[in-house]
Amino acid sequence: MKLNLSQFIDVLSFEISWLEANPVWVVISFLTYATLIGLFVNAIRMSIKLEKIHKQERTKTYGQFPKQILIIGFVITLSILSFAIIQKLY
């Protein structure tokens, strides 16, 4: 069982089905995607939490950075991921 970095890139970009790929690359790819989704969810959660706690001080801390941008980024990421999975199924 030889590990090749180009195979990892193929698995990460859904060029190779996760059922046919090396299990090590599948686990690492899953962790990569789960981490990215977790970062977006955590950023949204923290933004909402800080907005409730420090409604007036939030402007001083984060400026005028709206949480809608984080939500849009999360939706775009999920859309791209879903589109890539659907492309592989058909």
- What is each CA distance from 43 to 6, 8, 21, 27, 76, in whole angstroms? 31, 28, 32, 24, 15
- What is the pLDDT at residue 46? 86
Rounded (5°) CA angle 84-45-33: 25
pLDDT of 12 > 70? The answer is yes
What pLDDT shows up at residue 34?
92
End-to-end CA distance of the chain: 29
**pLDDT tens digit sequence for 28-80:** 999 999 999 998 888 888 888 877 776 666 566 555 666 777 778 888 888 88
Contact status, residue 47 vs residue 67, Cβ threshold 8 Å? yes
Q: Give 69-81 pLDDT, tens digit per residue.
A: 777 888 888 888 8
Please answer whether residues 29 and 12 qualify as being in contact, where contact means their C-beta atoms are separated by less than 8 angstroms. yes
Q: How many helices (H) and strands (E) does the chain have?
A: 4, 0
Under 8 Å CB-to-CB from 14, ≥6 apart: which residues?
84, 85, 87, 88
